[in-house]
Amino acid sequence: MAKANLKTQLPFFKKVLLFKDLFDEQILELIGIMKSRTFAEGELLAREEAREDWLFILLKGEVEISKRLLLPLWQDESQRQEKSLVHLSEKDFAFFGEMALFEDFPERSASIKALIPCTAAVIEKLSLINILREKPEIGTIIYRNMATVLTRRLVKANRDMLKLTTAFSLALEGE
């Protein structure tokens, strides 16, 4: 899918929370810095702990986001076990990998695997920073939208952590 084809996807991009409150022209400017990538079934879009600095917008397909169950010092790569956190499809108008845009030497916090063949728009950190320097009004909206999504994910992670610690405490009491 070339950039020209990405521009035909404007109605889709308007539903992606990352672009909430942007005008069509502003979204089109952002589409201009995107690259389209395809991934085969089973292929990793991103691997936990990899040093990468781009985000993905899932255009087509379905992905699984998973996290390593044990710290690396207790588990070598051949014994790697992962916990599936969420499945996303194009119907979710999902974007992910945005945390990489906030650090100088980002490290992926989870792995993302294509469950079926997928197409994703990719925005590289440097390209995004360049356009946001030129257009700070776009940057304000983009960063607010990212903060909203990150806040929601943090609240969910805190709830999940509370459930785990409660279950762990109850299990210890039962011994």
Tally of CB atoms within 10 A around 18 = 21
Residue 128 near residue 101 (C-beta atoms within 8 A): yes
Residues 154 and 49: their CA atoms lie apart, in Å, by 19
Residue 28 near residue 10 (C-beta atoms within 8 A): yes
* pLDDT score recorded for residue 71: 60
* pLDDT score recorded for residue 74: 56
Segment 39-83, tens digit of pLDDT:
999 999 999 989 999 999 999 999 999 988 776 655 555 666 777
What structural domains does the chain harbor? 3-173 (2.60.120.10)
Closest CA to 54 of 126, 136, 131, 143: 126
Tally of CB atoms within 10 A around 90 = 18
CA-based diameter of the chain, in Å?
A: 62
Residue 32 near residue 102 (C-beta atoms within 8 A): no
Give the pair of three-digit tokens for residue 58: 């899932």
Q: What is the pTM of this model?
A: 0.82
* pLDDT score recorded for residue 169: 85
Residues 168 and 44: their CA atoms lie apart, in Å, by 32
Amino acid at 99: M
Residue predicted with more confidence, 89 or 168:
89
Give the pair of three-digit tokens for residue 121: 């728009």
* pLDDT score recorded for residue 153: 82
